[in-house]
Amino acid sequence: MKILYFCTTWGQKMSGWQDFFTGVVANGYQGVEAALPVEGERREFMEGLEQYGLKFIAQHCETMDTDLQLHQANYEERLHKLAALKPLFINSHTGRDFFSQEQNCGLLDIAEKVTRATGIQIVHETHRGRFAYAAHVTAPFLNQRPELQLTLDVSHWCAVAESLLQDQPEAIDLAIKHTAHIHARVGFPQGPQVADPSLPEYAEALAFHLNCWDKVVENYKGDILTITPEFGPIPYMPHQLPQERQWQNNLYIMNLLKNRYQLKQS
Q: 10 Å Cβ neighbour count for 180?
A: 19
Q: How far apart are CA 60 and CA 73, in angstroms?
A: 14
Cis amide bond preceding 140, omega within 30: no
Q: What is the pLDDT of residue 265?
A: 62
Q: How far apart are CA 181 and CA 166, in angstroms?
A: 22
Q: What is the pLDDT of residue 68?
A: 98
Q: What is the pLDDT of residue 222?
A: 93
Averages of pLDDT over each 10 residues, the chain, 266 residues: 97 94 98 95 96 98 98 98 98 98 98 98 98 98 97 98 98 98 98 97 98 97 96 94 95 98 72
For the entire predicted model, the pTM comes to 0.97
Distance (Å) of CA 26 to CA 52, 129, 248, 251: 10, 35, 14, 11
**Nearest residue to 143 via CA among 122, 171, 121, 117:** 171
Q: What is the pLDDT of residue 242?
A: 92
Per the structure, how many domains does the chain have? 1
CATH of the domain at 222: 3.20.20.150
Q: What is the pLDDT of residue 264?
A: 63
Q: Where are the alpha helices (DSSP H) in the chain?
A: 17-26, 42-52, 68-83, 101-118, 135-144, 154-161, 169-177, 203-219, 244-261
**Nearest residue to 10 via CA among 258, 229, 252:** 229
Q: What is the pLDDT of residue 266?
A: 56
Domain with 149 in it = 2-264
